[in-house]
Amino acid sequence: MNPLSPNAQAAPNRSPALADLAGPAPISIADREATQQARLQQVGQRPGTLNIRPGALKPRLFLMSYDDGTFTEEEYTDRYDALLAYLHQHPELKHWIDVRGYGDLPLIERMMQDFGLHPLQMEDVLNDYQRAKIDVFDDHRLFMVSRMTDFTANLEIDDDQLSIFTGPNYVLSFQDDYDDCLDTLRARIRSNFSTLRRHPVLYLAYALTDVVLDHYYPTMAAIGDYIEELEEAIFAERRPRRLLNRILRIKKDVVRFRRLVYPERDKIAEILRLPEETMPETLKIFYRDAYDHAIQTLDLAESYRDNISSLTDLYMSDQGNRMNEVMKVLTIISTIFIPLSFVVGLYGMNFQRDDGHGHYLPLNMPELYSPWGYPTVILIMGLVVATQLYYFYRKGWLTNR
Amino acid sequence: MNPLSPNAQAAPNRSPALADLAGPAPISIADREATQQARLQQVGQRPGTLNIRPGALKPRLFLMSYDDGTFTEEEYTDRYDALLAYLHQHPELKHWIDVRGYGDLPLIERMMQDFGLHPLQMEDVLNDYQRAKIDVFDDHRLFMVSRMTDFTANLEIDDDQLSIFTGPNYVLSFQDDYDDCLDTLRARIRSNFSTLRRHPVLYLAYALTDVVLDHYYPTMAAIGDYIEELEEAIFAERRPRRLLNRILRIKKDVVRFRRLVYPERDKIAEILRLPEETMPETLKIFYRDAYDHAIQTLDLAESYRDNISSLTDLYMSDQGNRMNEVMKVLTIISTIFIPLSFVVGLYGMNFQRDDGHGHYLPLNMPELYSPWGYPTVILIMGLVVATQLYYFYRKGWLTNR
Amino acid sequence: MNPLSPNAQAAPNRSPALADLAGPAPISIADREATQQARLQQVGQRPGTLNIRPGALKPRLFLMSYDDGTFTEEEYTDRYDALLAYLHQHPELKHWIDVRGYGDLPLIERMMQDFGLHPLQMEDVLNDYQRAKIDVFDDHRLFMVSRMTDFTANLEIDDDQLSIFTGPNYVLSFQDDYDDCLDTLRARIRSNFSTLRRHPVLYLAYALTDVVLDHYYPTMAAIGDYIEELEEAIFAERRPRRLLNRILRIKKDVVRFRRLVYPERDKIAEILRLPEETMPETLKIFYRDAYDHAIQTLDLAESYRDNISSLTDLYMSDQGNRMNEVMKVLTIISTIFIPLSFVVGLYGMNFQRDDGHGHYLPLNMPELYSPWGYPTVILIMGLVVATQLYYFYRKGWLTNR
Amino acid sequence: MNPLSPNAQAAPNRSPALADLAGPAPISIADREATQQARLQQVGQRPGTLNIRPGALKPRLFLMSYDDGTFTEEEYTDRYDALLAYLHQHPELKHWIDVRGYGDLPLIERMMQDFGLHPLQMEDVLNDYQRAKIDVFDDHRLFMVSRMTDFTANLEIDDDQLSIFTGPNYVLSFQDDYDDCLDTLRARIRSNFSTLRRHPVLYLAYALTDVVLDHYYPTMAAIGDYIEELEEAIFAERRPRRLLNRILRIKKDVVRFRRLVYPERDKIAEILRLPEETMPETLKIFYRDAYDHAIQTLDLAESYRDNISSLTDLYMSDQGNRMNEVMKVLTIISTIFIPLSFVVGLYGMNFQRDDGHGHYLPLNMPELYSPWGYPTVILIMGLVVATQLYYFYRKGWLTNR
Amino acid sequence: MNPLSPNAQAAPNRSPALADLAGPAPISIADREATQQARLQQVGQRPGTLNIRPGALKPRLFLMSYDDGTFTEEEYTDRYDALLAYLHQHPELKHWIDVRGYGDLPLIERMMQDFGLHPLQMEDVLNDYQRAKIDVFDDHRLFMVSRMTDFTANLEIDDDQLSIFTGPNYVLSFQDDYDDCLDTLRARIRSNFSTLRRHPVLYLAYALTDVVLDHYYPTMAAIGDYIEELEEAIFAERRPRRLLNRILRIKKDVVRFRRLVYPERDKIAEILRLPEETMPETLKIFYRDAYDHAIQTLDLAESYRDNISSLTDLYMSDQGNRMNEVMKVLTIISTIFIPLSFVVGLYGMNFQRDDGHGHYLPLNMPELYSPWGYPTVILIMGLVVATQLYYFYRKGWLTNR
């Protein structure tokens, strides 16, 4: 087993949605995460002040060094000096310094010093909620932020930040978690025949961006699956609880996803406008491809947004249909039995044929004294019911719509 | 029969909608296709990797060679070498190499080699979901993607990709299916007097784009027909099941259609901005015409979108009307019979004229002992009913709205 | 009577709406016309192919020739050669060749030849659904398309195309119908003191555009009247059938109108940007005025759109109010009589004072044997009703809101 | 009293809204004014034709002449020649020629002649519904249109047009009414220490624009007050009639207001882009201030629009709440009494203990012969009612929501 | 205690929302503040006239003077001359003149004189409702307006204006209140090791803008908390009164917040476009960071807006659900008891076995004389009830949705 990929078995295609529709997951549409992020922000601090978020993981350091023919890979956690030394010994190789976890301020500050990183950008790295963006330095070095997405079992889009600094022969990447979505890329580097190892180190920065972009598809697919389940749930006999909540929750996710990807697209567009000396034309061809991907992802997100808005319409209309159905039951029962009740009430009246003084009153309810009175009334009531049922059948009220 | 047009009898004007309203077609508004496409995308692969979709058809190769006076046409399936040889023998002719089906990776790779196609673009060809676009090479060769649409019996817009590479004296087109919408164009090339054969080969590329654009109209017409049927269905006595679903489904189609055509329009606008050496002014006149067509198609799509949004309003209002109608039936019946039931109940009370001890109680329900009691009550009840019916008639509740 | 104006008595101010609200006109919101137009489009034809629509009228040719002092006017139907001859004889005059009806392909083709018209533009003329636009030729000749609108008794916006070619000393106009909205302009040309006759022939092209623009106002006024009628209809005791349909129909018209006028505005904006040699500054002043008119028409259309959206809200709310009213009637009647029915039912119970074995049961309904039982019950029921009526009055349920 | 200010006591702060909510004002949301204006437009007339609207007021002419030290003010109604003479005698002064009312075509035509005004612009002046705009002449003279607003007791925005021509030493202003909102400006000119009199005459044109802009605030304030009243009305026990109509009416006003102010803002933006020789930088500073005002007015209008859309939501929801309340009353009454009625009906059945042939039937309703039968039934019914009331209380149905 | 920070204990993190949901705070969605502001505006005044709002606080003057090594801080309220003298004595220091309160026109006018401030800008300072903006003077001095926000217990966004003038070695700031959100910044200046004291004085202006921006986060967090509470309230058994009002109120706040922040973003974007001599590149780096913050704040506001619109949907749907529930109770009770009432009514009929003349009528209700009549009827009714309950259970009506 490869000790460098802590949990390579993360399954990107699982559908967390299915589980949720059955289970009692708390579904909230409020943007809890955004609110918390807003609260963490420290007011009035000097810009460029580095704050380590409480609970940040201890940094693990990984190094991949390669060129066309060579490849070494090692974990340097707690051995930063050894890492530096190795870098100095091998200026001819391309290096990917892969830092996961921020929970060690002195180390972070040493790295800023050693790699010449600007405090404002380091603040962006640690702040951990930054839109995708690119900053270009005077010496053509780049600082790029990407956002890696995942769709959790709670129907939330979990997004982590991947921050990349490029140097002449290295790429320095920071992220918050130990797990990420870059293992396929690591495998490609390890492969002997990878064209990636032949390209300049800037291509590695591109490949990182591209892998992140590729990971948007499984997120989208999971959302798409969930939308289908929701549609079925609307028409199911027994709806899951808080169905509209779920629909609005997924809408929120799609909107959030769009807001994640738009800056990504803009970032790539900005890269395409960089001058030749910063970003050579041979690499721009690849970014053009990535740009098309970003656009297609946004297209998909738009599709989903339309779908969800249709779901809301369906839900509302179905709510109306259910009300309609309830009303129809009430109306059919009432319409049939209320007149009948009147009829039987009519012949329950106590009008007397004798006024108590011996006078015969022949007009008071002679029906009650007719030999065929009762059967006739029963027959009439039967006819009324039959007529009504026929009327309701014609209206289509007896069948379900 | 022409062996080159596998099913020339495809009828573009059939109305699949009609069948569907009657039949039990499963109507889903979720974007299944988009989701599946999202899932197919392979994560973390090297860009430019060629993947043949499982189930792709075996490629069939067709060649049309022509100039003003000459015309030959032949199928070269499984005879790619013969095709190449023919091309080399006839550099003076214009050639349309027409590849249908992608299911043969070695052949695709040989063609990339022989025609100098870039892996990223070939990936776009095979990936098979690409927005309409145009790429221009340094040597003025073009790569164009168009999307051919069809409106299926399932109310889905079925869109296939047509990818075109142009060369100095050939057009190389790729598509996924054996059937397509290009047969009228083939007939025009075959015709002795076609002006198409006099134009340079770039005009063939234009003609392909134009035929695809023209095919948007039948799709639109089918959608338009279906919208009319839906409108009638809203007011029909017995609505088809899941009517709102159908409305939202067709809305989704129109939205998708717009999303297909917008890039097409942008593609043509980009062509119109190409320099003279890449796209001569004499051809641009035709593209300007195509641009007008694209705009008109979009206008139509906008019209349909408005129509569908009106349909949704109508549906919702009609749902309200049906509820109203149910309530009116209930209210009329209840309002007439509940008071009557009270009256007959009143005279069903058992107040006694004799307190059981021989005292006569003259105030207890003397009506029951009146000679005209029963007829009077019947008359009063008749008057109440008549008054109520008149009131309801005045309100317009008895007529249907 | 002037033989050249076939029906000069067309009344632009009639209000077709009024008639319709009463009558049984079929109101559809589907865009039938657009659909049919989409179906007519012939797929895969060579661009620039001229198709005469089946049922097109036989062309009538009219000629007005004028300069400051001279004026002649004649119909040349079936005498195209005489027309041509006259034009050649009088190069010093300005000519308006006014062609109405397209139903004669050979004639159309001869005119294309004689006047040097491009097939693509002639296709636009005959195609008969073209957005307003302007094309400029290298020799400064212009091709302009305007759309003339009318508001028919079916609540449809009927729009016809007016296509204009300008030449050095003539304007050549095509339209589909024999009737049009240009008679006031013809009268102005006939008038001895018309400034129009002093201006260059390009001014005639402007005047044609301007008259079409002016005709948008009566269309708007008719729509505006209809909107007012619809508003009154919403609150009328007896609504006309399919009221929402009518509202949505008129909305569709306004939206369509906007879509007609926007290109018109863009066309004029394009004219304002033409170089001096194509469009002299002295004429642009007039087009600037026309531009303001177009903007104001669009403003009005926006106003109407807002009005109609308010109408929809009103309709929906009124639908709710009607339901509310129905429910109130039901609730008042039920709330009053159901408790009363209980009371009278109570005293209809048959509890006996004698258990059948001669035992006296004094607790079983002694009220029935009280001398004041019946009057007391009647009184109590009267009080209950009075209390309820007061409660409903306080709630405002007895008055109509 | 100043004879030059016919009704200086116009109170801009009155709240017409209050009156209306009580009174029976006819509330229509249709854009009657716009429709009428559309109908007035004369079709097919020569552009630049001057039409005096029937009922236009007879023009009154006022002149203010001033410079730093001098000031004269006089009414020249019916003495146009004297006005002209005075202007010629005092070329060293700055003049404001203030024309109110258009009802004298010959006078208007003489002024066009004397001041060199273009027919098309004069048509704009008289046409009286023109968006705010600015035209610049070759000799740097300006033609500006502003729209003065007022909020009438009928909840309509009444807007009048103020047209301004500037000349080297005069400003010539036209308006339709005798009353206007410019009296504060007149007072400033009259004041001895007004900085206005020191500025060039172009500053007067600015001051006119600025006063009109300032007048938007009271209109906005009146609308704002009315919105507050409407909100209270929604929750009032007895709503005024056609409340939604009123809400939509005020929405229409706000939308119309925005449509008035947007061109005003664009006009000022265009002024800010004028070259130095037409509009000196020293004046532009003031226009920049006016620009900020216009933006703030639009911000306010946006705020109001949001408020009104919230009002509509509230209204709709309140309509639902009222329905809910009605239904609750019905449900509570029915749920309590229908079961009770069943019970009492049960013991109203006539099952006999004697089959008529002397057989004793002990199973037929022995309860009726039990000594505690009636009290037990009463008790049971009491318990049922108590349970139901407790249930309804728990649901919160007994309290008002 | 620091005498210069009047109430440093203002807690930005309190959640006023919680209190409100319980309490009887008056919730209005009308834009009272905007209306009042509109009414305060004085019509027709000369632009640049300074008006002190009635009730404005007496100005307090504070001075902080610092450079890298020095720092002094003093309150100069009522000692403006001493302040001026100190400034002249120490041209080598950087000064922050911090004016709080406007209620002293002569002092304001002296400051305008002494610091060379333009009347129009001073009017903006005092007017107190100005969008965020920046004006640049010819001598590179700046005038900036920021808006400081707070979220009050009344659910209103309270925003105060901070106006900043920069000079060669000073920053002059004006605000309306004694309390503000700048105390953290003051603390940073006081700190011996503040990098702020090493930067040029323009950095202080930046720091002021940045602190204001940072303060948007707590406002957002409070709004976010409140949104969560509202969501819970929707599903609570007993909703707080006027819940929709509260939702719409918070929507209004978010919309208003966006309208506050957009100009702030535009202001910063404008700063980023300033020439090097006005704004050096070394400072622009910080503004770029501030720009990112502004964008993120707007992103959050968009998120909240979506959340609130979802809340409205939820509320409406829940209203429908509650109605549904009411109707179900009614329907279940009616459907069960109305048929039963018919049955018992049936056997309450008085058809006689003896016609009064001694004839036996065996067909009249023989059931009443059957020995098992009563038990059979009871049994049948029990079966009917059981069937109905099963049906309702299957429909899911007995459980809550």
How does DSSP assign E26-42, residue by residue?
----S-HHHHHHHHHS-
In chain C, positions 298-327, which contact chain B (CB-CB < 8 Å)? 312, 315-316, 319-320, 322-323, 326-327
Strand partners, B368: none
- Average pLDDT in chain B: 83
> How far is residue C307's CA from residue E382's CA, in Å, rounded to a whole number?
58
Can you state the percent helix, strand and coil of chain B, rounding each to 5? 55, 15, 35
C371 burial (CB, 10 Å; 0-12 / 13-18 / 19+) is middle
The residues, ordered by sequence, that sit 6+ positions from E48 with a Cβ below 8 Å of its Cβ are D289, E119, E120, E122, E123
pLDDT value, residue E363:
80
Q: Percent of chain A having pLDDT more than 70?
A: 88
Give, in order, the Cα–Cα distances in Å from C362 to each of C357, C376, E10.
14, 20, 79
**D206 pLDDT band (50/70/90 cuts)?**
very high
CA-nearest residue to B347 within chain A is A349
* Contacting subunits of C (3+ beta carbon pairs below 8 A): B, D
pLDDT value, residue C88:
93
* Contacting subunits of D (3+ beta carbon pairs below 8 A): C, E
> How far is residue B341's CA from residue B338's CA, in Å, rounded to a whole number?
5
**Range among A155-159, D309-313, E395-399 rated most confident:** D309-313
B389 burial (CB, 10 Å; 0-12 / 13-18 / 19+) is middle
For E244-280, how does the pLDDT look when each residue is reduced to its tens digit (9 = 90+)? Answer: 888 988 998 898 899 889 999 999 999 999 998 889 8
Cβ-Cβ contacts under 8 Å, E130 against chain D:
292, 296
Q: DSSP labels for E354-395?
A: B-SSS-B-TTS-GGGGSTTHHHHHHHHHHHHHHHHHHHHHHH
Question: What is the arrangement of strands in the sheet containing D71-75, beginning at the earlier edge strand?
Answer: D71-75, D60-66, D94-100, D170-175, D157-166, D142-151, D133-136
* B176 within 8 A of B126, measured Cβ to Cβ: no
Of E194, E215, E328, the CB nearest to A43: E215
CA-nearest residue to B345 within chain C is C344
> How far is residue B179's CA from residue D277's CA, in Å, rounded to a whole number?
69
Which of C197, C216, C313 to substitute to test the interface with D, most D CBs within 10 Å?
C313
Assess E351–A contact: CB distance below 8 Å, yes or no: yes
pLDDT value, residue A61:
94
* Contacting subunits of A (3+ beta carbon pairs below 8 A): B, E
Asked whether the predicted pLDDT for residue A2 surpasses 70, the reply is: no
pLDDT value, residue E214:
87
CA-nearest residue to E348 within chain D is D349
Q: What is the SS3 assignment for B143? A: strand
> How far is residue D197's CA from residue D182's CA, in Å, rounded to a whole number?
16
> How far is residue E168's CA from residue E163's CA, in Å, rounded to a whole number?
17
Of A28, A337, A345, the CB nearest to E338: A337
> How far is residue C178's CA from residue C163's CA, in Å, rounded to a whole number?
14
Question: Between chains, do A224 and B35 touch, taking CB under 8 Å as contact?
Answer: yes
Please state the φ and ψ torsions of residue E304, each to the nearest 5 degrees. Answer: -65, -40
Give the minimum alpha-carbon distance from B8 to chain A in angstroms, rounded to a whole number: 33
The residues, ordered by sequence, that sit 6+ positions from B316 with a Cβ below 8 Å of its Cβ are A316, A317, A320
Of A194, A307, A356, the CB nearest to B31: A307
Q: Which residue has the higher pLDDT, E63 or D136?
A: E63
Give, in order, the Cα–Cα distances in Å from E290 to each of B94, B107, E258, E284.
60, 56, 16, 9
Question: Between chains, do D345 and E345 touch, taking CB under 8 Å as contact?
Answer: yes
* D173 within 8 A of D164, measured Cβ to Cβ: yes
- Nearest Cα neighbor of A100 from A191, A4, A185 is A4
Give the minimum alpha-carbon distance from C227 to chain B in angstroms, rounded to a whole number: 17
Q: Is the dihedral of CA A76, A77, A82, A88 positive or negative?
A: positive
Question: What is the arrangement of strands in the sheet containing B133-136, beginning at the earlier edge strand?
Answer: B71-75, B60-66, B94-100, B170-175, B157-166, B142-151, B133-136
Amino acid at D234: I
Q: Which residue has the higher pLDDT, E158 or C133?
A: C133
> How far is residue A67's CA from residue A195's CA, in Å, rounded to a whole number?
10
Q: Report H helices in E168-242.
A: 183-190, 201-214, 216-235
- Nearest Cα neighbor of D285 from E42, E120, E278 is E120
Cβ-Cβ contacts under 8 Å, C288 against chain D:
120
For C62-90, how does the pLDDT look when each residue is reduced to its tens digit (9 = 90+)? Answer: 999 998 888 999 999 999 999 999 999 99
Amino acid at C355: D
pLDDT value, residue E38:
61
pLDDT value, residue C166:
93
pLDDT value, residue A365:
78
Assess B334–A contact: CB distance below 8 Å, yes or no: yes
Counting one residue from chain D and one from chain E, the pairs whose CB atoms sit within 8 A come to: 205
Asked whether the predicted pLDDT for residue B215 surpasses 90, the reply is: no
- Nearest Cα neighbor of A205 from A172, A239, A160, A252 is A172
CA-nearest residue to C332 within chain D is D330
Taking residue B72's Cβ as centre, other Cβ atoms within 10 Å add up to 12
Taking residue C153's Cβ as centre, other Cβ atoms within 10 Å add up to 15
CA-nearest residue to A204 within chain B is B46
Half-sphere exposure of D157 (CA within 13 A, CB side): 29
In chain B, positions 75-104, which contact chain A (CB-CB < 8 Å)? none
Give the pair of three-digit tokens for residue A111.
Answer: 């790295």
Asked whether the predicted pLDDT for residue E5 surpasses 60, the reply is: no
Of A34, A46, A344, the CB nearest to E196: A46
Give the minimum alpha-carbon distance from B224 to chain C in angstroms, rounded to a whole number: 5
Q: Percent of chain E having pLDDT more than 70?
A: 88
pLDDT value, residue C18:
41
pLDDT value, residue B122:
87
For B257-298, how does the pLDDT look when each residue is reduced to its tens digit (9 = 90+)? Answer: 998 899 999 999 999 999 988 898 888 888 988 898 899 889
Give the pair of three-digit tokens for residue C220.
Answer: 């708007």
CA-nearest residue to D47 within chain C is C286
- Average pLDDT in chain D: 83
Mean pLDDT of A230-259: 86
Which of A368, A376, A385 to substitute to test the interface with E, most E CBs within 10 Å?
A368
Mean pLDDT of E230-253: 85
pLDDT value, residue E174:
93
Cβ-Cβ contacts under 8 Å, D238 against chain C:
396
Question: Between chains, do B364 and C341 touch, taking CB under 8 Å as contact?
Answer: no
**A107 pLDDT band (50/70/90 cuts)?**
very high
**Range among B108-117, B392-401, E13-22 rated most confident:** B108-117
Question: Between chains, do E311 and A368 touch, taking CB under 8 Å as contact?
Answer: no
In chain E, positions 363-382, which contact chain D (CB-CB < 8 Å)? 365, 367-375, 377
- The pTM score is 0.82
> How far is residue C167's CA from residue C137's CA, in Å, rounded to a whole number?
11
Q: For every one of its 401 residues, what pLDDT tens digit does chain C have, with 9 covering 90 and above?
A: 343 333 333 334 434 444 445 444 456 777 666 666 666 555 666 777 777 877 888 999 999 999 888 899 999 999 999 999 999 999 999 999 999 998 888 999 999 999 988 888 888 888 767 889 998 877 878 999 999 988 877 778 888 899 999 998 999 999 988 888 888 889 888 887 777 888 889 999 999 999 999 888 888 888 888 888 888 888 887 777 788 888 988 988 898 899 889 999 999 999 999 998 889 888 888 898 889 889 988 988 988 988 899 899 889 888 888 888 888 888 888 888 888 888 888 888 888 877 777 788 888 778 788 888 888 888 988 998 899 899 888 877 877 54
* D309 within 8 A of D339, measured Cβ to Cβ: no
pLDDT value, residue E88:
93
Assess B41–A contact: CB distance below 8 Å, yes or no: yes
> How far is residue E179's CA from residue E173's CA, in Å, rounded to a whole number?
14
Q: Percent of chain E having pLDDT more than 90?
A: 23
Asked whether the predicted pLDDT for residue E10 surpasses 60, the reply is: no
pLDDT value, residue D143:
92
Question: Between chains, do B303 and C31 touch, taking CB under 8 Å as contact?
Answer: yes
* B265 within 8 A of B291, measured Cβ to Cβ: yes
> How far is residue D80's CA from residue D78's CA, in Å, rounded to a whole number?
6
Q: Which residue has the higher pLDDT, D372 or D291?
A: D291
Cβ-Cβ contacts under 8 Å, C322 against chain B:
324
* D219 within 8 A of D149, measured Cβ to Cβ: yes
Assess B193–C contact: CB distance below 8 Å, yes or no: no
Domain boundaries defined on chain E: 53-318, 349-395
Question: Between chains, do C29 and B231 touch, taking CB under 8 Å as contact?
Answer: yes
In b/e form, how buried is each residue of B114-151, taking b as 16+ CB within 10 angstroms?
Answer: ebebeebbbbbbbbbbbbbbbbbeeeebbbbbbbbbbb
Q: Pairing relation of β-strands A157-166 and B60-66?
A: unpaired
Give the pair of three-digit tokens for residue A44.
Answer: 């009035």
Asked whether the predicted pLDDT for residue E14 surpasses 70, the reply is: no
Give the minimum alpha-carbon distance from B332 to chain C in angstroms, rounded to a whole number: 8
Of A43, A124, A344, the CB nearest to E349: A344
Give the pair of three-digit tokens for residue C83.
Answer: 């027309």
Q: Is the dihedral of CA E271, E274, E279, E283 positive or negative?
A: positive
First to last CA, chain B: 61
pLDDT value, residue C4:
38
Give the pair of three-digit tokens for residue D175.
Answer: 């308006």
> How far is residue B209's CA from residue B211's CA, in Å, rounded to a whole number?
6
Cβ-Cβ contacts under 8 Å, B130 against chain A:
292
**B36 pLDDT band (50/70/90 cuts)?**
low
Candidate CATH numbers 3.30.70.260, 3.30.460.20, 3.40.1130.10, 3.30.70.20; the one for domain C53-318: 3.30.460.20
In chain E, positions 127-146, which contact chain D (CB-CB < 8 Å)? 129-131, 133
Question: Between chains, do E292 and A130 touch, taking CB under 8 Å as contact?
Answer: yes
C122 burial (CB, 10 Å; 0-12 / 13-18 / 19+) is buried
Cβ-Cβ contacts under 8 Å, B311 against chain A:
none
Asked whether the predicted pLDDT for residue A3 surpasses 80, the reply is: no
> How far is residue A225's CA from residue C270's CA, in Å, rounded to a whole number?
49
Question: Which residue has 């168009």 as its token pair?
Answer: B146
Question: Between chains, do E349 and A353 touch, taking CB under 8 Å as contact?
Answer: no
Question: Between chains, do A317 and B322 touch, taking CB under 8 Å as contact?
Answer: no
Mean pLDDT of B341-363: 81
Asked whether the predicted pLDDT for residue D61 surpasses 90, the reply is: yes
Q: Which residue has the higher pLDDT, E123 or C155?
A: E123
pLDDT value, residue B32:
64
Give the pair of three-digit tokens for residue A182.
Answer: 């870059």
Cβ-Cβ contacts under 8 Å, D203 against chain E:
none
